[in-house]
Amino acid sequence: MKTLRISAIQMNSGEDVAANLTRARRALRSAAADGATLAVLPENFARMGKKESDRLAIIEDDGAGPLQDFLAAEAARSDMWIVGGTIPLKSDDPKRPYAAALVYDGSGKRAGRYDKVHLFDARVPESEEAYRESRSTMSGAKPLCIETPWGGLGVAVCYDLRFPELFRQMSSEGMDVLALPAAFTYRTGEAHWEPLLRARAIENLTYVAAAAQTGTHPGGRQTYGHTMLVDPWGAILADAGGRTRVITATIDTQRLKRLRQQFPVLDHRRF
């Protein structure tokens, strides 16, 4: 496959799971109608509660549950690969599920699972915002890069974006496209979202599809939005701004191959 159509979906998820799934379904079908081969949903697409612990209300067993069924059915219906944002999957600690980003192929079969590795335990500078994600989430331990019909697909989630060594590992495993579901806070997003996305694209010579939450959510949390598609030279192909919408761009995998041959920075690594 020489070209790939990627859609990244921007949502404003709340506490009503059924309403969120209706919006996600509409967005996924819009992406498919626009010719997307791959669509990426944002972090916590099915529910953004008032507290991090609210995700316990929708926790699922690995391999079985309504959210997993939803993703599989939409992928099969549209013959489109889907990176399913994140959903909470059970761990050994009943109060701390994994934040799992699940990948489904066009037949509806699960092709990969990535558990968010880096958890957001931080106070946002010069604000009253503070987060302790590790209290309600179990950390994953492994990167994910899987083979697809168009090349290697790497998956990471939100706060992972700040840790370049994770993306170097995926690059070493053959990453051509990075899918990044996220729910960046407004303040950190305003300062760092775009430069971090462009940096990860440039330093790994990879396309990036970053799907974000936007707007105000239950409890007053504000997310930055600006879902983006970025090319391996750091150019922004599409930016969703602050609105809920679907953005789509065509990716030329042959151009990616030529770029890596002409500018072989990945072959020049010393460490």
CB atoms within 10 A of CB 96: 23
Q: Supply 52's token pair.
A: 């991090």
Q: Supply 150's token pair.
A: 């168009």
pLDDT digit string (tens) for 43-72?
999 999 888 778 889 999 999 999 999 999
C-alpha torsion 195→201→205→208, nearest 10: -160
Residue 271 maps to a domain: no
| Helix (H/G/I), strand (E/B), else coil: 110 | strand
Q: How far apart are CA 10 and CA 182, in angstroms?
A: 10
Rounded to 5°, the CA angle 65-120-75 comes to 30
pTM of the model: 0.96
Q: How far apart are CA 12 and CA 237, in angstroms?
A: 22
Q: Distance from CA of residue 24 to its chain's centroid? A: 14
The domain that holds 121 is classified in CATH as 3.60.110.10
Residue 270 maps to a domain: no
Nearest by Cα to 130 from 221, 14, 191? 221
Cβ-contact 74, 102 below 8 angstroms = no
Q: Catalytic residue, from 74, 116, 133, 145: name it.
A: 116
pLDDT at residue 2 in the model: 58
Residue 55 maps to a domain: yes
Q: Could you tell me whether strands 130-132 and 110-115 are parallel, antiparallel, or unpaired per DSSP bridges?
A: unpaired
Residue 153 maps to a domain: yes
Q: Supply 246's token pair.
A: 């679907």
* Residue-averaged pLDDT of the chain: 95
Give the number of domains in the chain: 1
Mean pLDDT, range 132-137, rounded to an integer:
90
Residue 8 maps to a domain: yes
Cβ-contact 43, 87 below 8 angstroms = no
Q: Catalytic residue, from 52, 74, 133, 158: name it.
A: 158
pLDDT band at 122 (very low <50, low <70, confident <90, very high): confident
Percentage of the chain exceeding pLDDT 70: 99
- Cβ neighbours for 232, distance < 8 A, ≥ 6 positions apart: 201, 202, 204, 205, 206, 207, 256, 259
| Helix (H/G/I), strand (E/B), else coil: 215 | strand
Q: Tell me the sheet residues that pair with 64.
A: 61
Q: Catalytic residue, from 43, 52, 74, 133: name it.
A: 43
Crossing angle of helices 66-78 and 17-33, rounded to 10°: 20
Query: 43 catalytic, yes or no?
Result: yes
CB atoms within 10 A of CB 55: 21
Nearest by Cα to 4 from 257, 250, 242? 250
Mean pLDDT, range 222-235, rounded to an integer:
97
pLDDT digit string (tens) for 162-220?
999 999 999 999 999 999 999 999 999 999 999 999 999 999 999 999 999 999 999 99
Nearest by Cα to 118 from 153, 72, 156, 78? 156
Query: 158 catalytic, yes or no?
Result: yes
Residue 242 maps to a domain: yes
Query: 145 catalytic, yes or no?
Result: no
Counting every residue written for the chain, the total comes to: 271
Question: What are the DSSP calls for 135-166, one per residue?
Answer: GT-B-----EEEEETTEEEEE--GGGGG-HHH
Residue 86 maps to a domain: yes
Q: How far apart are CA 93 and CA 186, in angstroms?
A: 30
Mean pLDDT, range 108-119, rounded to an integer:
98
pLDDT digit string (tens) for 1-38?
557 999 999 999 999 999 999 999 999 999 999 999 99
Q: Which domain holds residue 107?
A: 3-261
Residue 85 maps to a domain: yes
